[in-house]
Amino acid sequence: MQQHPAYKTPFLVLTLVLILCFIINISLGSVLIPLKSIFGIVTGQVPENTSWEFIVINYRLPKALTAIIVGSGLGISGLLMQTLFKNPLAGPFVLGITSGASLGVAIAIMGASFFGGVMAGVLISKWSIVIAASLGSFLVLLTVLIVSNKVRDTMALLIIGLMFGSITAAIISVLTYFSTAEELQQFVFWRFGSLGNLSWQELVIFSIIYCIGLLLSLASIKALNTLLLGDNYAKSLGLNLKKTRLTIIIATSLLAGTITAFAGPIAFIGLAIPHITRQIFTTSNHKILLPAVFLLGSIIMLICDTIAQLPGLEYFLPINAITCLVGAPVVIWLLVRKRKMVF
């Protein structure tokens, strides 16, 4: 995708920063691996310490790639939602997709004891959690799509999405009340979010669905720019609002729903990354914003993950906590400093 000449330098800088963050993320952790050894492992050379190869190939590389997918996917989802609803507080969660995934996982984990025996063990297995989250987000998506055909007002759709979130939160609260301590602990740990639990096979499936959502987002760039002019003006230009809204909702659901299913509900990124991008690039053109959000979302997620794994220590912090603690003050500072938002 060609960029405006004025933005070539920022994009080049962000690309270099992304590569640097990726390399640092792979090298740091409970075991510090020299950069020379990492390059050797990636290029197929046998390292001086054979355990380093296992750590890099089977854990750190998939985790770093997951961070890029999660950061960019949530950032793009947030951008799509903020443009569709013309609301700076909109994010991937507004349609209830994330809440639907949480409900699916809550039923699988905290409802497993009702089935007992072997069935309970199947329900709380790794793949069943992913499937439960996917089914939960898909059912909410299906409901939202049905409602979107009945409701023409975009703001009404936003409110309905938030109501779905409230309903799922209430059901989860009931399940939480009747769950055992072990089930509750497992659900809480899932809600913390995690980037390091995916194998290469799971990452391939994750990436395929992510790419479909990304392609739909790229195909919607022209429509997103037209929506900024207002629904009535967009109609006069020949934009099919119903089809555009459907495409944006499906793209967001594929991105946010899949990320929640594989990595858990990651907070802050989807809401804040579009704002940070607008403050840096001072444009509302989605030909610039969408790739910029991809790069910034990936960078910030890699930085948060590097902080969360506490380099040199055996402990690690919940990624959800880090995304909020690191990101929220940055957004507040940018908004206070600029005092206006390009939207």
Tens-place pLDDT, residues 55-71: 888 899 999 999 999 99
pLDDT single digits (tens) 77-110: 999 999 988 877 777 777 788 888 888 888 888 8
Q: Cβ(255)–Cβ(270) under 8 Å?
A: no
pLDDT score of 12: 93
| Alpha-carbon torsion angle 273, 275, 279, 282, nearest 10 | 110
pLDDT score of 118: 45
Helices (H) and strands (E) in the chain, counts: 16, 0
Long-range contacts of 241-247 (CB under 8 A, 24+ apart): 242/149, 244/220, 245/84, 245/148, 245/154, 245/157, 246/145, 246/148, 247/216, 247/219, 247/220, 247/223
Helix axes 61-85, 154-178, angle to 10 degrees: 130
Give Cα separations from 42 to 12, 27, 64, 185 (angstroms).
Answer: 24, 12, 14, 37
pLDDT score of 186: 86
3-state secondary structure 101-165: HHHHHHHHHHCHHHCCHHHHHHHCCHHHHHHHHHHHHHHHHHHHHHHHHHCCCHHHHHHHHHHHH
Looking at 1.10.287.70, 1.10.3720.10, 3.30.2350.10, 1.10.3470.10, the CATH number of the domain 5-338 comes to 1.10.3470.10
Residue 312: pLDDT over 70: no
Distance CA 304, CA 308 (A): 6
pLDDT score of 213: 94
Written as six digits, the tokens of 169 are 């939160």
Residue with the two structure tokens 């959502």 = 213
Domains in the chain: boundaries: 5-338
Mean pLDDT of the chain: 84
* 23-37, 104-118, 228-242, 257-271, range with the lowest pLDDT: 104-118
Residue 200: pLDDT over 80: yes
Q: Cβ(129)–Cβ(183) under 8 Å?
A: no
* 1-10, 32-41, 158-167, 215-224, range with the lowest pLDDT: 1-10
DSSP letter for 58, please: I
pLDDT single digits (tens) 285-307: 999 999 999 999 999 999 999 99
pLDDT score of 232: 81
Mean pLDDT of 207-212: 94
Distance CA 148, CA 231 (A): 15
